[in-house]
A and B are shown apart, each in its own frame.
Chain A
Amino acid sequence: MSYLHAPRLVFTGDFLSDVSTVNNDTAHYNNETFKPDFQKPGQGATNGWWNPEGGAVFDFQNCRIRQLSLPDGTILSHPSQDPLIGQVVMGAEGRPTGKMVDIDPDAQMYSALWCVQVRICTRDNELLLQGDLDTTSFRDIQMRQTDGAKNNGQALGATWTSTLTNVQWGEKANWSPFLGRLRKTTQENKLSVNLNSFGYYYAHNDGRFSLGRILGSIGPYFSNEPVTFAAARRLYGIYQPAGQRSTYFSTSNFLVEYETNSVTVDLGASFPVENSLGAIHLNQRLYLAVSKIPVQFAPDRNNPAYYISQSDVVGIGIVGYASGNDWLMQTGGVVSLNNLPSETMRLLTDHQLLLITMVQGKPDQFLVVAREAIDGQVVRADNFVLRLDCRETQKVKFHAYQWGRPLANALIKTSLQPPTPDTPVGPNNPISVIYGNNFPQDGITFASSVVTAADGTAELQLTGNPIHSPRHYIDGQIYTFDYQLDEVDPAFGTENIVVHLRDEFETIENPVWSDIVSIMTQYGNLYPVMSKYIASFADPVALIEKKDIFIFAFSRPLENTMHMPVTRDLSEGKRQTILNWLHHPVTDDKGTSSHLQAVAKPENPVPENTPLTDNQKKYKEAVRAKNGAVAEFQVIGNLFEN
């Protein structure tokens, strides 16, 4: 089950993400070339980007419950139908907010929510429901905004899917019949949750700096389901309008329910929006249909569109969206079509769902906007972002599906991407050499393939081997793995497992300041919100003065919102060494000899100009787009004018 199942509630509103940005630039990690200017806001390489003093706060704002979906397809959207409508969704109370952080500057596409609490309260602040969001990272980053994002600066949207644990039902929860049903339906007292975000403001415009839109869905959780994605079928966008760099409707989850003869699609993740607030400009009639024939098309520059004959599809129904400001914010973009004929349901058991439309000049054909994954096959890794210490082993759990059912005996291939080259200092990289990733290639021991069991799951074991500063001034290395089923769907490509393998570092029992000075100085450089307002991290005396609070923060568990460092990128050895120093601070200038004997740093095995693979190029472009570093996002008038 998933957030797409009923009983499902939809809430929408804004999110606040006060992420810090000095750490968006890999070169800023080099203490030797760091300059105070890098802590000031501004565009370009030699400054702190758009929010240098961010504190990593993530919170819900202005979020209200908009509508409720019941298993029979009924949609409730007025408080008279259930008093839950119109109630408030908020973050934590009585403890600090959740946090949003990247794992590493070389892995910025996986921004994660940590320690976020979701609370549903009455307008009088009486608790109805609360739960803790399991840590989850961005998936399905895709193009959303068609106006060029000039006001806000970010045209992309992305999805966080997760599970709410430690669910508490407030005394007044029974007051809502809907919540009663949800409570009865869900298992293990957990809930599924999905958050689609878009319209984020890098710019100080519209009073919305550091705010974005959020569309939330909460539904039942069922045992053994994945934690950070929906056990759903997937639609991939395959229409790339002429001259556009990307598809729209790029990735959408959907669910086929045979008990209720219904199809539910989450277009909240993908529906193109005209502006940062979620207005819809489109007037095109969109349909869902089942394809009678396999569709394997993926667009490229020469073939932007795929048309299918009317006789090759069975129509399901119209996607009942409405142009204007309200539809997404009212419905969350989740569309259900119910009471489908048995023939349609039968076809859906092993045929692709399509999102189609009609365009001028093609009377007998439909333009396919999005199609289901080829053969209905989907494989996803659940915990795909790992923080790994040397000699530590972690397991990644895969779930494979076909047509929404667990896919047994599926071979999942895993491969480590090739090393990326170092980037020397030059006109486009003015601060410091930036070292490549994925080397030494033997840094992680893993199996190159695993096979799914009867329940469609498989586990991949990853073991960190000792590495010694391949990136010189940043701890450890980023390793990116591609994983795939036998066939890669070209409309979606492969997905990744991303590992931050930390440098080998043995805890120092009695450290002196010089043992930790480079770690602390770097931290102070990257997080002016701490070094400016709490204590200068490059100054041992300042740290000693505040040592109680730092001992407190550095000793919080990883899953505690007050854990330091907020990015959770310190190896256990380094974290414990810092704690040891804080407990018995010695400001001597002589480091312990064992740790000053530098182990030779591994050479990057590839020369500087080694071309990136297609996936690596795409990733690099995507990071630039995510950071608002692209010159400008394209403006699209009519998506379907061709």
Chain B
Amino acid sequence: MLHIDAIYIKKIQQSGSLAELFPMLQNAIELEHSTIPPYLTALFSIQPGKSNEARKIIHSIVIEEMMHMTIAANILNAIGGKPQINNPAFVPAYPGPLPMGIGNGLIVGLEKYSLEVVKKVFMEIEEPENPLVLKSAAETEQTYSTIGAFYLAIQKKIEEIAPYDLPGNKAYQVTSSFFDADQLFPIYTKEDAIHAINIIVEQGEGTSTSPVDQDGEIAHYYRFEELVRQRKLIKDDNAPHGYSFSGEPIVFNPSDVYPFFPNTKINMLKKGTEEWNRLNQFNTSYFSLLAGLHTTFNGAPAQLDNTIGIMYDLKLTAEKLGATPFPGNPGFTIGPSFEYIRPNEA
């Protein structure tokens, strides 16, 4: 169960103005982003054309994390803050804890896809406040502060202190044709913000009574659980909460995965080698992506389209890294390192 340092909840609760929520929403953006490199690393490690079901599931989750990051930035803009994406502090050092000390020391790294990493890391990240027991007995520990609780505290505070029409510049709201308009929408009012936070929480955790959110979409936690159980979660009237992992098998063969060296860093490679250049190209794209997102979230929402192209550049470079043997580490290939390095500093 992921604990969040109670101080953050407290800070939210004690906020007397929207400005005091700015750092909390900045934290939320950073938190949403912090899950993306680990999920993407796992996704990129699945070789082309193989383990397609697993790929689709992780892909669906990482896309939603990107949307959650966008929603958090929209809320910050809506209440008058300025998202800060293009600085070194924005990017966590992997392996390491998630932002805000979330997770009671859970260490998150950049590793190839495996059932173990899904179970021990990804499901931990997405674990709901009260995980539903879906046709299997498991003990759950009651606790009080999760990522969901953090969002709900922000939601409550906005409801409490914000004016109905939120003060941010409406032109800064980011939407995209790649997401449903009823999930990623401009946040102009308090109601919009409340609704948007519900989407983040429910997509991550599900509802307290069902593994699916109000749109009938399976929450991240349970989608990851599908991977671990290697079965699709389907409706099952005989099961508790109406769902069970009794659907189509999700075939996964460990040899379908590139053997990324865990938590690759560029300084593990000799500067000036082809391998170094290729990883540097990856980091250059990542830097460019964050720069583009910063621009997007700071008054140029149309720039989002440009960042989509960079995401493909990242993917393609990572796939090539996956096929590139790691010099001096037999049996491993080079992992995407997601390091914030100015291209001219590398």
Contact = CB atoms under 8 A, between A and B. Distances in A.
Contact of A16 (B281, B310, B319, B344): B281
B276 A93 contact: no
B306 interface: yes
A91 to B, nearest CB: 9
Contacts of B277: 16, 61, 207-209, 211
A207 B306 contact: no
| Binding site secondary structure of chain B | helix
Contact of A533 (B273, B281, B319): B319
A552 B288 contact: no
A552 B344 contact: no
B303 A95 contact: yes
Contacts, number: 83
A532 B312 CA distance: 13
A548 B179 CA distance: 10
B309 interface: yes
A93 B292 contact: yes
A561 B276 contact: no
B292 A209 contact: no
B320 interface: yes
B97 to A, nearest CB: 28
B316 A529 contact: yes
B82 to A, nearest CB: 17
A55 interface: yes
B177 interface: yes
Given A208-B274, A532-B49, A93 B291 contact: yes
A549 B178 CA distance: 8
Contact of B306 (A94, A204, A209, A548): A94
A552 B316 contact: no
B48 interface: yes
B10 interface: no
A93 B288 contact: yes
B305 interface: yes
A96 B286 CA distance: 11
B342 interface: yes
A53 interface: yes
A21 interface: no
A121 B342 CA distance: 11
A94 B307 contact: yes
A96 B177 contact: no
Interface residues of A, number: 33
A345 to B, nearest CB: 42
B178 A96 contact: no
B181 to A, nearest CB: 13
A92 B313 CA distance: 13
A90 B343 contact: yes
Contacts of A121: 344
Interface in B219-236: none
Interface in B280-320: 281, 284, 287-289, 291-292, 294-295, 303, 305-310, 312-313, 315-316, 319-320
A94 B306 CA distance: 7
Contacts of A549: 178, 308, 312
A16 B277 CA distance: 10
Interface in A1-51: 16
B328 interface: no
A-B residue pairs, 5 tightest by C-beta: A94-B292, A95-B306, A96-B309, A88-B344, A562-B309
30 contacts: A53-B320, A61-B277, A88-B343, A90-B343, A90-B344, A93-B287, A93-B288, A93-B292, A94-B294, A94-B295, A94-B303, A94-B310, A95-B306, A95-B307, A95-B310, A96-B306, A96-B310, A96-B312, A96-B313, A97-B313, A123-B345, A124-B342, A125-B342, A204-B274, A207-B277, A209-B277, A532-B48, A552-B177, A561-B309, A562-B305
Interface of A: 16, 53, 55, 57, 59, 61, 88, 90, 92-97, 121, 123-125, 204, 207-209, 211, 529, 532-534, 536, 548-549, 552, 561-562
Given A16-B281, A548-B177, 18 more contacts: A53-B320, A57-B281, A57-B313, A59-B281, A59-B284, A88-B344, A94-B288, A94-B307, A95-B307, A95-B310, A96-B309, A121-B344, A123-B344, A123-B345, A124-B342, A125-B342, A533-B48, A562-B309
Interface of B: 48-49, 177-178, 272-274, 276-277, 281, 284, 287-289, 291-292, 294-295, 303, 305-310, 312-313, 315-316, 319-320, 342-345
